[in-house]
């Protein structure tokens, strides 16, 4: 999956997993990496107004009219998006989505909206494991290639199911997070019941797969489900509107190479299921490339708690573990990049690359844009002085 990108090197360690370092000095606003998610789903609450293919919400509040008529669970913004995705959707997750709310399911906990969005994600990934690995029945590659050619972006990283399985996972235990453990147990049980209902009740594959084989496949799916939940909870990304609505979530293994820091040197700019990683300020050769997984304008303990209970790791970044003077200095530095719009959690970055030399020898104005809402901030080169 990871090919050579100018200025980036992929490394790994026992404590930090896989991460990226700069192999040269990096300028302000450089495009460091572009990637498309392996799989993305629309939010349960906004699925009728957001496109399942491009993961974008229409500006109108009018519900979308194009949908999958087999499962009635996904919608499209236009014929092109439907044509690009519908065959792939019906090859993989469609038959499972169709039964998500079946009264025949014996296990049906009182899941909230966010959990149902998560279940749609996990079921989508497990349906690919079922088709690609267990049945050796991958979606026709030629169709995928044709769709990818429409993007016409040779710099964009692509991901595979194996890349998803290779993601680092943080175990959730009764001791580390009892509430999360209980919810994951419920999701695992629900998904097991769902696959039992769909696969054992299917008549389309009876001639080629007997029930014993199906039961064995369900067992293997059950073995994978908890691990997939742990991996996606630590590595998925929300897809947000300019008004700070989460319209979907995506799994993009290549984007997971950017570790978290509460004083990041990069930011991710999202466009539906596509992501571009940009440098916020000059980065020195040998430095690790980092982004923030959370809202940065919070007290230390709040940030630590969110990372501990949301991503299942203890933050060891210098802004959380330095002395009071250095923490104050880092707070003042990174806060300059916070978007000034109320409730927006984006960071200001430069769309064009700005050579470091230019910031040292000129006083011209620099236009920065918010990574979430595109709000503009005009600054001078001294803005980047630490």
Q: Are 50 and 160 found together in one domain?
A: yes
- Give the pLDDT confidence score for residue 207 in this predicted structure: 54
Flag whether 13 is in a domain. yes
Whether 244 is covered by a domain: the verdict is no
Q: Is the pLDDT of residue 270 over 50?
A: yes
- Whether 247 is covered by a domain: the verdict is no
CATH at 350:
2.170.270.10
3-state secondary structure of 178: helix
282 has pLDDT over 70: yes
- The verdict on 276 and 218 lying in the same domain is no
Residues 342 and 264: beta-carbon distance below 8 Å: no
For residue 230, what pLDDT is reported? Answer: 93
Nearest alpha carbon to residue 52 among 233, 275, 373, 272: 272
Among candidate residues 22, 24, 121, 143, the one with its CA nearest the CA of residue 74 = 121
- Same domain as 148, residue 70: yes
Could you give the 3-state DSSP secondary structure of residue 121? helix
Give the model confidence (pLDDT) of 88-104 as tens digits.
999 999 999 999 988 88
Among candidate residues 205, 239, 273, the one where a domain is terminated: 239
Per DSSP, the three-state class of 80 is helix
Residues 155 and 175 in one domain: yes
Q: Are 287 and 210 found together in one domain? A: no
By DSSP bridging, strand 348-349 and strand 290-291 are: unpaired
Kindly state whether residues 112 and 229 are assigned to the same domain.
yes
Mean pLDDT of the chain: 89
Same domain, 355 and 257: yes
pLDDT tens-digit map of 332-373: 999 999 999 988 999 999 999 998 876 666 788 999 999 999
d(CA 275, CA 269): 6
pLDDT of residue 255: 87
Assess contact for 265 and 280: CB atoms under 8 A.
yes
Assessment of whether the complete model's pTM goes beyond 0.85: yes
pLDDT of residue 2: 52
Tell whether 245 is covered by a domain: no
Domain assignment of residue 1, yes or no: no
Please tell me whether residues 49 and 12 are part of one structural domain. no
Note down the domain range covering 289: 8-36+252-384
Does 231 fall in a domain? yes
The mean-pLDDT minimum among 23-32, 158-167, 235-244 falls in 235-244
Q: What is the DSSP letter of 134?
A: I
CA distance 83 to 254: 26
Instruction: Name 9's bridge partners.
Output: 21
- Same domain (yes/no): 228, 326: no
What is the per-residue pLDDT across 146-187, written as a single tens digit (0 to 9) for each? 444 444 455 667 789 999 999 888 888 888 888 889 999 999
**E strand or H helix at 248, and its extent?**
strand 246-251
Domains in the chain, number: 2
Same domain assignment for residues 178 and 202: yes
Same domain, 129 and 277: no
CB 194 within 8 A of CB 129: no
Domain endpoint, select from 214, 239, 264: 239
The predicted pLDDT at position 300 comes to 96
pLDDT of residue 325 exceeding 50? yes
Does any domain span residue 371? yes
Give the end of a domain, one of 191, 217, 239: 239
306 and 221 belong to one structural domain: no
Q: Does residue 227 lie within any of the structural domains?
A: yes
């Amino acid at each position: 999956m990871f090919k050579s990108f100018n200025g980036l090197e992929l490394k790994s360690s026992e404590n930090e997993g896989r991460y990226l370092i700069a192999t040269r000095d990096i300028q302000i606003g450089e495009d460091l990496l572009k990637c498309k998610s392996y799989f993305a789903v629309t939010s349960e609450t906004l699925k009728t107004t957001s496109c399942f293919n491009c993961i974008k919400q229409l500006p109108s509040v009018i519900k979308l009219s194009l949908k999958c008529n087999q499962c009635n669970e996904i919608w499209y913004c236009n014929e092109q998006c439907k044509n690009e995705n519908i065959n792939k959707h019906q090859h993989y997750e469609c038959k499972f989505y169709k039964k998500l709310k079946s009264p025949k399911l014996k296990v049906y906990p009182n899941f909230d909206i966010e959990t149902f969005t998560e279940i749609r994600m996990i079921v989508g990934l497990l349906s690919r494991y079922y088709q690609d690995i267990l049945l050796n029945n991958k979606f026709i590659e030629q169709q995928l290639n044709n769709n990818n050619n429409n993007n016409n972006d040779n710099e964009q990283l692509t991901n595979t199911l194996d890349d998803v399985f290779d993601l680092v996972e943080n175990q959730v235990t009764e001791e580390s997070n009892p509430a999360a453990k209980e919810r994951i147990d419920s999701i695992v049980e629900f998904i097991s019941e769902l696959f039992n209902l769909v696969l054992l009740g299917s008549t389309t594959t009876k001639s080629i797969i007997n029930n014993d084989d199906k039961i064995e496949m369900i067992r293997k799916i059950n073995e994978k489900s908890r691990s997939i939940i742990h991996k996606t909870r630590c590595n998925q990304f929300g897809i947000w509107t300019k008004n700070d609505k989460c319209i979907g979530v995506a799994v993009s293994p290549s984007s997971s190479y950017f570790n978290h820091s509460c004083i990041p040197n990069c930011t991710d700019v999202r466009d539906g299921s596509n992501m571009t990683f940009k440098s916020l300020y000059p980065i020195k050769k040998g430095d690790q490339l980092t982004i923030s997984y959370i809202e940065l304008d919070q007290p230390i303990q709040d940030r630590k708690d969110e990372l501990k209970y949301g991503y299942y790791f203890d933050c060891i970044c210098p802004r959380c573990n330095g002395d009071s003077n250095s923490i104050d200095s880092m707070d003042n530095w990174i806060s300059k990049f916070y978007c000034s719009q109320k409730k927006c959690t984006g960071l200001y970055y430069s769309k064009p690359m700005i050579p470091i030399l230019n910031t040292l020898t000129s006083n011209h104005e620099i236009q920065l844009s918010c990574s979430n809402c595109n709000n503009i901030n005009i600054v001078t080169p001294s803005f980047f002085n630490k």
